[in-house]
C-alpha cells in the first residue's frame, strides 16, 4: 500500500450512511467502500437501500441495507442496533437525508415547515444522539453532516431549507466542541449546486441561469466530486486535526460577489 493509499484508507472501518439510497450519499457510500470500509445503507425506502447495497457489495465489502425514517427516533434506535449486531462497531456516520421546497414565505404552511425541519435537522440531531453516543463510548469516530451553501448567506426561494441547513452547521460545531475530548470528530460538507433528487423540481431555466451567474466554474457539481472530501473527513489519518469544519464543495459559489 502506497503512502497516499494508507493515508486515505478506510480498511477495517464501518460506515453508516443515512440517506444512502440517494444520488449524493450513495456516491459517498460507494467511495467509502472503494477505500475499504464496510457499509450500512439507511434509507426511507428499503428498495433504494437494497439496490445501493447490492451495487456496493460487488466491490468486495460487507453491506447492510436498512429501512429507516431518519426523523423517527425508534427507527434509528432499531437501525443502530442492527448495525452494531452485524458489524460489531461503526466508525463513520454520514447524515444526508434532505427535502426541499420553493414555497414563497407567506404561503409556507405549518406542516411543510415542520416536515422540512424534521427531515433536514431533527434527523441529524437524533442520529448524532443515537450513533454518536456509541462513538463517544468507544473512544472515536467521524461524523459527517451534509449541509448546503444555502446555510449562509441564505438562498432565495428555499426559506425553510436554508434555515434547516444553518441549523446543521450550528449542530455540527456544537458537537465538535463537545466531543473532541472523546476523539469524535464532527464536520459538515456544504455542497453547492448538485442536481440531486430534492432540488430538480425547482430548477427552472431562469433559476439555472441565476445559479450559473453566481458559480465561477459555470456548471453543476457531479456526485463523484463530493467523494474525496467525504473520504478525507472520514479518515483518521488524513483529517485527524479537523473538527467543527464546514467544507464547501461549490465550484466557487460562496467566493462570488459582483
Tens of pLDDT, residues 11-51: 999 999 999 999 999 999 999 999 999 999 999 999 999 99
pLDDT of residue 201: 65
**pLDDT at residue 155, rounded to an integer:** 83
What fold characterizes domain 3-250?
Rossmann fold (3.40.50)
Ranges of each domain in the chain: 3-250
Collect all residues with Cβ–Cβ distance below 8 Å to 89 and sequence separation of at least 6. Answer: 14, 134, 138
Find out whether 1 and 36 touch, Cβ atoms under 8 Å: no
The pLDDT, as a whole number, for residue 258 is 78
Of 158, 163, 219, the closest CA to residue 193 belongs to 219
Write down the pLDDT at residue 109: 97
What pLDDT was estimated at residue 232?
98
Per-residue DSSP letter, 225: G
Which pLDDT score, from 0 to 100, does residue 202 have? 66
Residue 116: predicted pLDDT: 98
Residue 207: what pLDDT?
A: 87
- pLDDT for position 198: 56
Give which of 167, 134, 132, 162 is closest to 149, Cα–Cα.
Answer: 162
CA dist., res. 205 & res. 209, Å (int): 6
**Greatest Cα-to-Cα distance within the chain, rounded to the nearest angstrom:** 57
- pTM score of the predicted model: 0.96
What's the confidence (pLDDT) of residue 196? 66
* Tally of residues, the chain: 258
Residues with catalytic function: 161
How far apart CA 47 and CA 49 sit, in angstroms, is: 5
Which portions of the chain are predicted below pLDDT 50? none
Look at phi and psi of residue 42 and say left if phi exceeds 0, alpha if psi is from -120 to 50, else beta.
beta
Amino acid at each position: 500500500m502506497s503512502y497516499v493509499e494508507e493515508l486515505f484508507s478506510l480498511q477495517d472501518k464501518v460506515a453508516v450512511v443515512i440517506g444512502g439510497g440517494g444520488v449524493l450519499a450513495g456516491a459517498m457510500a460507494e467511495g467509502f467502500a472503494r477505500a475499504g470500509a464496510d457499509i450500512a445503507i439507511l434509507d426511507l425506502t428499503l428498495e433504494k437501500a437494497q439496490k445501493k447495497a447490492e451495487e456496493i457489495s460487488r466491490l468486495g465489502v460487507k453491506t447492510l441495507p436498512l429501512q429507516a425514517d431518519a426523523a423517527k427516533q425508534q427507527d434509528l434506535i432499531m437501525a443502530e442496533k442492527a448495525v452494531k449486531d452485524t458489524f460489531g462497531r461503526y466508525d463513520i456516520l454520514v447524515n444526508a437525508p434532505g427535502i426541499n421546497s420553493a414555497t414563497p414565505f407567506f404561503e409556507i404552511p405549518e406542516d411543510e415547515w415542520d416536515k422540512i425541519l424534521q427531515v433536514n435537522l431533527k434527523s441529524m440531531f437524533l442520529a448524532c444522539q443515537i450513533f454518536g453516543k456509541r462513538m463517544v463510548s468507544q473512544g472515536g469516530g467521524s461524523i459527517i453532516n451534509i449541509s448546503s451553501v444555502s446555510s449562509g448567506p441564505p438562498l432565495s426561494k428555499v426559506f425553510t431549507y436554508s434555515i434547516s441547513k444553518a441549523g446543521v452547521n450550528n449542530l455540527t460545531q456544537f458537537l465538535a466542541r463537545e466531543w473532541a475530548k472523546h476523539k469524535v470528530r464532527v464536520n459538515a460538507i456544504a455542497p453547492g449546486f448538485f442536481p440531486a433528487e430534492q432540488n430538480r423540481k425547482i430548477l427552472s431555466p431562469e433559476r439555472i441561469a441565476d445559479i450559473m451567474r453566481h458559480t465561477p466554474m459555470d456548471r453543476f457539481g457531479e456526485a463523484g466530486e463530493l467523494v474525496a472530501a467525504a473520504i478525507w473527513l472520514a479518515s483518521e489519518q488524513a483529517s485527524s486535526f479537523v473538527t467543527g469544519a464546514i467544507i464547501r464543495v461549490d465550484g466557487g459559489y460562496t467566493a462570488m460577489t459582483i
